[in-house]
Structure 1
């Protein structure tokens, strides 16, 4: 199989790092973005000649454009973009300040959007490519105590679903990855919580918050196995638009689909009677 050129945001740890290592190990070239100077040499040393680190904060629009352009000058093309940079956020919707919502959206949604828009002209020019959005099962199904994060990932999925239709005739594929719980640092250093804590949500949002923070390091998912699935998806001629990762994610998606179907069936005879009689 032909060598691929990857551009992966957020490769200092977690899914991004594991995927980058797996792609480089099989002989692909990986451009990975990090946010700290000390992480540059560390990433370059993973597979010298195959891993290339760039400093980038995805919320910096000028930095995004410059970094993507530099990567293309360096490697000649980008075959696979993986928007992986992001962080989790816990707390009830009422507890969260609007500014906290904005900060999460800035990275998880607008950051991914800016990188996507910066890469698209090059993919259009080369006549193809694959954009992989690292979402979450939380981008398909909401959970009490996760509403801020849900909002950011729902936005990412809504944009990406439309994008997939727009770029398909241009030879560009779009896939949305929806992991469940995996043993990364997501529930540790990569997650934040509301500053405001309200006792009214002790029995709902805080239960979920405590569960997420309590299972760090014990999640069922193996990131290395997940990375191999993403590699298979990137190699596929007909990849899915959405791909839940892990049994928990699959069960959650099916449960929501069943719930939506039940609501549709229960209200169809009422909700569809809204047309003019003539």
Structure 2
């Protein structure tokens, strides 16, 4: 097994931390970024120069460019870039503050875009590389009480749908990783909450809150198996465009796409009826 070098954002907890630990354990090098680098002190002591750590807040555009450039300069080559930094924001759209909305979009969506734009020139110069974007089953489905989180995940998927063919000629592959519910800290300590309004108590938003508080949502995903699948995906050629992970992710996304396709078919006659009469104008 050859040693690979990975660049991972958001490594303090969740999948970012678990990926870092698994990769170091198997002998790879990891450039790990997080807002408080002392959070990886134990791993740094154990693995020495195979772990490269820097402070990074992906909402800081200058810092993103600086840290990415420094990582490639210090490590020489980076095989896999993992956009993992992000968090969940819970609340009905009306309940969220402008500041909460801006921070959610700047972290989950714009932050991933910044990192991607910063690494592309380096990967292009290498003539190869893989980008793994942590999306979610929430990049193809949506629940009440999570509108802004879904906006960022649907947004980053749309971004990469365009970018994938842009960078494919340079040997750069991309995979959108779409886990379902997993037993990580994601919906706990790292999440943000809007101030609830009583008017939503007897609506689907209120139902979601009560179910979550009561622990009624199944959490089938095994983080260790998910991390192993993510790591294994980089050896698949060509890069799988999407990696659905978890039984809930498969069933919910399959149902959503089937429903959406039926809705598309229902519009067929109307859609075709709105074309110009006669041959299409190519202007």
- The interval holding the TM-score normalised by the smaller chain is over 0.9
- Contact 1:135–1:179 (8 Å) recurs in 2: yes
Alignment-derived partner of residue 202 in structure 1: 202
Alignment-derived partner of residue 96 in structure 1: 96
C-alpha RMSD of matched pairs (Å): 1.8
CA separation in 2, counterparts of 1:46 and 1:178?
31
Deviations 1:19-45 (A, max 9, x none): 111111111101111211422423413
Q: 1:99 to 1:169 in 2, by over 3 A?
A: same
Aligned residue runs from structure 1 range 143-154, under 5 A: 143-154=143-154
Q: Please identify runs of 4+ aligned residues in structure 1 that moved more than 4 A.
A: none
Deviations 1:58-109 (A, max 9, x none): 1111111111111112110111000000000111122223332211000001
Q: 2:226 matched to 1:226?
A: yes
- Contact 2:211–2:217 (8 Å) recurs in 1: no
- Contact 2:142–2:150 (8 Å) recurs in 1: yes
Alignment-derived partner of residue 256 in structure 2: 256
- Contact 2:18–2:224 (8 Å) recurs in 1: yes
TM-score (norm: length of structure 2): 0.93
- Contact 2:91–2:146 (8 Å) recurs in 1: yes
Q: 1:64 to 1:272 in 2, by over 3 A?
A: same
Alignment-derived partner of residue 242 in structure 1: 242
CA separation in 2, counterparts of 1:220 and 1:246?
7
Alignment-derived partner of residue 211 in structure 1: 211
- Contact 1:43–1:52 (8 Å) recurs in 2: no
CA separation in 2, counterparts of 1:87 and 1:45?
28
Alignment-derived partner of residue 192 in structure 1: 192
Give the SS at the match of 1:49: helix
Alignment-derived partner of residue 281 in structure 2: none
TM-score (norm: length of structure 1): 0.94
- Contact 1:133–1:175 (8 Å) recurs in 2: yes
Give the SS at the match of 1:48: helix
Deviations 1:185-238 (A, max 9, x none): 011111111125242353211222343454399722111110100111012122
Gaps of 5+ in 1: none
CA separation in 1, counterparts of 2:253 and 2:26?
31
Aligned length: 278
CA separation in 2, counterparts of 1:269 and 1:166?
34
Gaps of 5+ in 2: 279-283
CA separation in 1, counterparts of 2:264 and 2:17?
41
Alignment-derived partner of residue 130 in structure 1: 130
Alignment-derived partner of residue 166 in structure 1: 166
- Contact 2:130–2:173 (8 Å) recurs in 1: yes
Q: 2:175 matched to 1:175?
A: yes
